[in-house]
Structure 1
Amino acid sequence: MTNVVLRLSARDLVHADLASCGWAGTDHHLAGVAEQLERARAGEVDYLAVCPATDIPVAKGGVDYRVKDGVGTLWQLAVHPALQSCGIGTFLVEAAELRIRKRGLRRAELAVEENNPRARALYERLGYVAYDRRTESWDEQAPDGSLRPYETICTLMRKELA
């Protein structure tokens, strides 16, 4: 077996990246990400891209500073499906936590769908602790392009940052 080592960097996601992020979701989802990039310009959120030397995103995710006072809320975290379980999600979460600390905040929170045990296991391994549950909902794009309501139960998790 041959091991391949990728050198990763985290930077701000920009509009030009969206064309190469089809792996992250539907056109509807990417249109929502584009809206979040406008909030990033206003300083309300950080939206990160994790890239190898090609500078093409292989992971993305946001930190919202407006959800709860004094907290950075991680959301819309995604790693290219072909590259999952390679440490890229860990790199993404750690980069997001660094952004939170640079703002002088000491707590990170996130919501993980209860039907996503792999993601929850990652967050627990990184020190996140469950503290509540809630129903979340949003519109999801169907294969025919129409939007349909999607509802799920999420576990709320938090971590105190050093």
Structure 2
Amino acid sequence: MNLSSTRTAEVAVPIVVRDLTPADLPACTWAGTAARLVQVERALERAAAGEVDYLALCTPAGVPVAIGGVDYRAVEGAGTLWQLAVLPALQSCGLGTILVRAAEERIRSRGLRRAELAVEEANPRARALYERLGYEAYGSRPDAWDVTAPDGSLRRYETVGTLMRRDMAQGDA
């Protein structure tokens, strides 16, 4: 074996789509700050009450590599996708598409025919994904949340989100 040469290999790994659980949270530190994981933990409490679905795409070992929620209370008659995240090393490998389609299936299973989301204007790659999946922009809104800075101080993050939606036919996939 020549150790000085670089080789590329492709490996196919099956992905399981399931509900995220509190036991998964320690393996999701890649998805954001500690404060964000607290928000995800609160979302799991809402999932237990049936207000949201929170999905995990997992490797055969059960490790989450993509997560995201669907909120059924944010917009009347629609499921709102939010907090979508893919393990950075696996971005642009199709996991975002699988996550969005799984979320849409959950929305359809509740008898709803519209999915909505907001994407930061500063995130053109995510917007391109949603457009490829059939989402159309219909407006924008300011958004803000608190984040913990590396020095431990609390800072306010402000952004503008482009509002997008997709009308789904029941047989659409």
Give the TM-score category using the shorter length. over 0.9
TM-score, normalising length: structure 1: 0.98
Runs of 4 or more, structure 1, over 4 Å off, are: none
Alignment of 1:38 onto 2:29: no
Shift of 1:141: 1.4
Shift of 1:130: 0.3
Q: Which structure's CA Rg is the greater one?
A: 2
Alignment of 1:122 onto 2:129: yes
| 1:45-68: CA deviation from partner (whole Å, max 9, x where unpaired) | 000000121111000000000011
CA-based RMSD of the aligned residues comes to: 0.7
Alignment of 1:77 onto 2:84: yes
Name the structure 2 match of 1:106: 113
Name the structure 1 match of 2:26: 19
Match for 2:18: what amino acid?
Answer: R
In structure 1, list runs of 5 or more residues that go unmatched.
none
Match for 1:5: what amino acid?
Answer: A
Name the structure 1 match of 2:101: 94
TM-score, normalising length: structure 2: 0.92
Shift of 1:2: 2.1
Name the structure 2 match of 1:150: 157
Shift of 1:110: 0.2
Match for 2:9: what amino acid?
Answer: T
Name the structure 2 match of 1:67: 74
Paired residue for 1:159, among 134, 158, 166? Answer: 166
Name the structure 1 match of 2:56: 49
- How many Å separate the matches in 2 of 1:147 and 1:108? 32
Alignment of 1:4 onto 2:11: yes
SS at match of 2:134: coil
Percent of residue pairs bearing the same amino acid type: 66
Higher mean Cα deviation, 140-149 or 97-106?
A: 140-149
In structure 2, list runs of 5 or more residues that go unmatched.
1-7
SS at match of 1:133: strand
- How many Å separate the matches in 1 of 2:15 and 2:126? 20
- How many Å separate the matches in 1 of 2:132 and 2:145? 28
Count of matched residue positions in the alignment of Structure 1 and Structure 2: 162
